[in-house]
Structure 1
C-alpha cells in the first residue's frame, strides 16, 4: 500500500443521497421514463437543499428529473458535477408510465407481491433486481474510491438510494421497498476506515 492509498483509507468520506422531487405526470411507475420535475418537484428539491453548497462534488443520474436540478445546484454553487449512467432508476418494464392505483385495481395480488418481494415477483419485462443491484453497487464502489475524503452529493432515485442504503446496512434485496423514501428525501452515509455508516435517513442538512 502506498502512502496515498493509506491516507485515502483513513480519510472520512461523507456522501449525501437525495431523491429527486415530484416529476410531471403524477404518481406513476417511472423507471427509465424521462419526465422532468414538476413545479412542486423543483420546490421540494430547493427546499431540501435550502441554499446549502458545502459539497465538494455532485454525482447525478442521467435522467432529467435528477440531472436538471444537479446542473442548477452545480452552477449556483460552483460545484463540479458528473453524470453516472449506472445511477438511473430500475426499469419497470410493462409497468413503465402506469399508475399504481390502476394496476392495483387490475391485479392487486401481483402488485402486492412485488412490493413484498421484488426479487421473486418483478414487473413483466422489467430489469432484474440482480442486474439493478450489480450496476448500482458498481457505481457506489467507484464513487467512494473517486471521492475519498470528500463531502459528496448523489442525486438519484428512490430505488437507487434504497439500494445503496440496503448495501450499507446489509438489508436483503427482497426487502428493498420496505425503506420509506419520499420525494427530495435525504440520507447521509459516512465512510471511515473503510466502514460505511448510515448517519441519518430522511433527515435535514441543517
Structure 2
C-alpha cells in the first residue's frame, strides 16, 4: 500500500462583505491574508505540490507560497467555487428581498436542479466538476509517488488552496454523502479552515498478474477525511 495526504486550505476573509461569493473574483482583505499565513504555519512540512483555484482569493496566496518555497504550483479551474449566476456578488439580503421563495428553496434543497439561480451552476454539476478536479490531484500524487525513489516518498503531502463549497463537495465524495443538504446548509467552514484527506492506494494481492499490452496499472484508491480545523481567528 502507498499513501499520501492532501491538505485543503480555505481562503481567508475577502473584500465585499457578506455576499454570495461564488466565481466573482474578489481579493482577500489584509485580515484574510493574515488568516491564511497563520493557518499555513500549522501545516506540517514538507509540501511537495500545491494546487489552487484560479480565483484571486486563492491564487495570490498559492503563487506566493510556490515562489517562496520553490514548490510547483498547478492551477485547476475545477477547484473554483460554484457559480451563483445572477446572485453572484450580491448581498444575501438583496437576494432574499428580490427572490424570497427561490432563495428559501435553494437553501432547503440546493441539489434540486430547478432551485439553481438563473444562469448559475447546479450543485449536481458543481459536485461532479469538483470530483473530477479532486481526482486530478490524486492522480498527480500517484504519478509523483511512482517517480520518486526516496524512502520518505510514501509520506507525500500536497496542499490544495480552494473554497468552502469545494471542501464540502470533497467531504460529500469521501463520505459517500452526495445529495446531503446538511453539508451545504448546516455546516460552517470558517475562513482559512484546514481539512486533510488521507489517500491510500491498494495494489492487487496477485502482483504477478501481467498487464495487457500498452495498459497502465491503476490501483484501487480509498480515502479518510480528517475533520476541518480552524487555526486562524475568524473576525467576520
- What TM-score do the two structures reach when normalised by structure 1? 0.88
Deviations 1:63-89 (A, max 9, x none): 100000011111222221110111111
Paired with 1:43 and 1:142, the residues of 2 have a C-alpha distance of: 29
State the partner residue of 1:188.
196
State the partner residue of 1:5.
none
The alignment's C-alpha RMSD in Å is 1.9
State the partner residue of 1:90.
82
Deviations 1:157-191 (A, max 9, x none): 11111101110011132424033211111101101
Deviation for aligned residue 1:91: 0.4
- What TM-score do the two structures reach when normalised by structure 2? 0.77
| 2:128 maps to 1:130 | no
> Which structure has the greater CA radius of gyration?
2
Structure 1: where are the runs of 5+ without partners? 1-9
| 2:32 maps to 1:16 | no
Would you say how many aligned residue pairs link Structure 1 and Structure 2? 196
Give the 5 Å matches for 1:1-206.
Answer: 10-50=1-41, 52=43, 53-120=45-112, 121-148=115-142, 149=154, 150-175=156-181, 176-177=183-184, 178-192=186-200, 193=202, 194-203=221-230
Deviation for aligned residue 1:51: 6.7
2:107 is paired with a residue whose SS is helix
Query: Which aligned runs of 4 or more in structure 1 are off by greater than 4 angstroms?
Result: none
